[in-house]
Amino acid sequence: MKTFEEKWTAWLDGQLSGKELAEFEASLPDLEAAEAEKRDALRLGAFLKEQLAAQALSNEEFFSHQLHERIAQEREDRSRDRGTSTWWTIPRLVWSGAAALALFVITTVVLMSQHQPGEQSEYLTQILNSRVDPAANPNATIYIFESKNDNKVTVLWTEGLQSLPADYAAK
Amino acid sequence: MRTETTPAQADVSELDLVRQCQAGDTEAFDQLVTRYRTRVFAMIYNMVHNEQDAWDLAQDSFVKAWKSIGRFRGKSSFYTWIYRIVMNVTIDWLRKRQVKAGGAEFDDAIQLKEIDPASKTVPKADPLPHQHLERQEIRARIDHAISQLSPEHRAVILMKEIEEMQYHEIAESLGCSIGTVMSRLFYARKKLQNSLRDVYENV
């Protein structure tokens, strides 16, 4: 669906025909005034063409010469850039990136596997080595949570214990 | 469409020249430049109203065309393709200039260019002094009226009225729809009619 502006422009430039032309002209409230406006616009077009078309390029040969120089310079720069960065093609950049990443992953894995965990506390060792007497405490459960970071935290969670075994000496 | 060609140049098709350019032949590009340099310069000059700026922008446009000619696939004419580059370069320049000027309207200090007497498009005889002055005044009025239009409106009115391009060619050059071209033409014509009516009615 064309807007009024589009139809008007097409009408002015003689681009409407047949049914479309008849419909557009019928839709105009004052065809005579529109025709006058059209003549005025065509006059403007002819006037602009007459006044603006004579603009000459003052030194055509120098224009081409200067352009030639610029293009030659451009080609020179491009070939120099190509010479200095020939090795780093896009596939090579991708492969180099992938190789560097793989090397990083391997190094990290090796270093992590060599890392020694911190020594277990004496208290924890005692807890792990202790036994709950099943006769005295049939439903007893002991959970131990331990964090092995620098700030060591060990949590002992007991459930169903009536009493701690005698060899449990809290430190 | 008008081009600056000699009969020998006309024998070589534009597409052949483009193919040669794509193979790196600068002489072929030279021929294309010779065909279009005057029209490109005139078009830019009518948009920027300054000879030096028009010269520089025309140079930039052709350098850009050379750099990207490898991407020209021949889907449109070379003329439309180069005009697209010219319009991008010029409109971009006008926009930057407008921003630099703090949003103010474009430079009204119009430099009037003497018309080259050797040009094929002007009468051989020099105009009389009063005619020359009158022509300068008219030109100044036109340039001022055009400078009041946005870069996009300038482009469509000049391409339609001066270059006699078709709507679809203008649309391709500006990278917009035909409807947008027609709409811009409507408003550009209205504005110029209002500001130049007294001039063209009395010429």
The predicted-structure confidence for B8-20, as pLDDT tens digits, reads as follows 455 578 889 999 9
Total-model pTM: 0.66
**Domain with A13 in it:** 4-52
Does residue B172 have a pLDDT over 60? yes
Does residue B34 have a pLDDT over 90? yes
Residue A65 included in any domain: no
Of the pLDDT bands very low, low, confident and very high (cuts 50, 70, 90), residue B178 is very high
> Between residues 105 and 164 of chain B, which touch chain A (CB distance below 8 Å)?
113, 115-116, 118-119, 121-122, 138-139, 142, 157-158, 160-162
Stronger pLDDT, A166 or B88, i.e. the higher one = B88
Does residue B186 have a pLDDT over 80? yes
- Token pair in block for residue A54: 């004579």
Choosing from A30, A52, A74, the residue where a domain stops is A52
Name, in order, each residue with C-beta under 8 angstroms of B203's C-beta and a sequence gap of 6 or more.
A47, B138
Query: What would the mean pLDDT of B84-88 be, rounded to a whole number?
Result: 95
The pLDDT value recorded for residue A129 is: 63
Task: Domain count for chain A, please give it.
Answer: 2
The secondary structure of residue B113, as a DSSP letter, is P
Residue A134 included in any domain: yes
**B194 in contact with A, Cβ within 8 Å:** no
Pairwise CA distance, residues B8 & B11, whole Å? 5
Residue A139 included in any domain: yes
Nearest to A57 among B37, B142, B201 (CB): B37
Ramachandran angles phi, psi of A153, nearest 5°:
-135, 130
Q: What distance in Å separates residue A38's CA from the closest CA in chain B?
A: 11
The pLDDT value recorded for residue B173 is: 92
Does residue B112 have a pLDDT over 50? no
The pLDDT value recorded for residue A59 is: 87
Does residue B136 have a pLDDT over 90? no
Length of chain B: 203
The pLDDT value recorded for residue A57 is: 83
CATH 1.10.1740.10 applies to domain B9-198: yes
Residue A16 included in any domain: yes
Query: What would the mean pLDDT of B108-114 be, rounded to a whole number?
Result: 39
Residue A141 included in any domain: yes
Encode chain A (171 residues) as per-residue pLDDT tens digits.
Answer: 789 999 999 999 999 999 999 999 999 999 999 999 999 999 999 999 988 876 778 888 999 999 999 998 888 887 777 666 566 678 888 999 999 999 999 999 998 887 665 565 666 666 666 656 667 677 777 666 666 666 666 676 677 666 666 665 544
Residue A98 included in any domain: no
Pairwise CA distance, residues B36 & B4, whole Å? 7
CB contact under 8 A, B33 and A70: no
The pLDDT value recorded for residue B113 is: 42
Domain ranges of chain B: 9-198
Assign 3-class secondary structure to A6-62: HHHHHHHCCCCCHHHHHHHHHHCCCHHHHHHHHHHHHHHHHHHHHHHCCCCCCCHHH
**Taking CA atoms, what residue in B is nearest to A2?**
B179
Return the percent helix, strand and coil in chain A, to nearest 5: 60, 10, 35
The pLDDT value recorded for residue A139 is: 72
In chain A, residues with a C-beta closer than 8 Å to the C-beta of B162 are 48-49, 52-53
Percent of chain B with pLDDT over 90: 64
**B198 in contact with A, Cβ within 8 Å:** no
The pLDDT value recorded for residue B118 is: 41
Residue A19 included in any domain: yes
**B81 in contact with A, Cβ within 8 Å:** no
Q: Which of A1, A7, A44 to mutate to test the interface with B (most CBs of B within 10 A)?
A: A44
Query: What would the mean pLDDT of B32-49 be, rounded to a whole number?
Result: 93
Q: What distance in Å separates residue A96's CA from the closest CA in chain B?
A: 30
Pairwise CA distance, residues A4 & A2, whole Å? 7
> Among A21-35, B95-109, B181-195, whose mean pLDDT is lowest?
B95-109
Angstrom CA distances, B1 to A1, A38, A107, B153, stand at 31, 25, 68, 22
Residue A114 included in any domain: no
The pLDDT value recorded for residue B103 is: 56
Q: Mean pLDDT over all residues of chain B?
A: 83
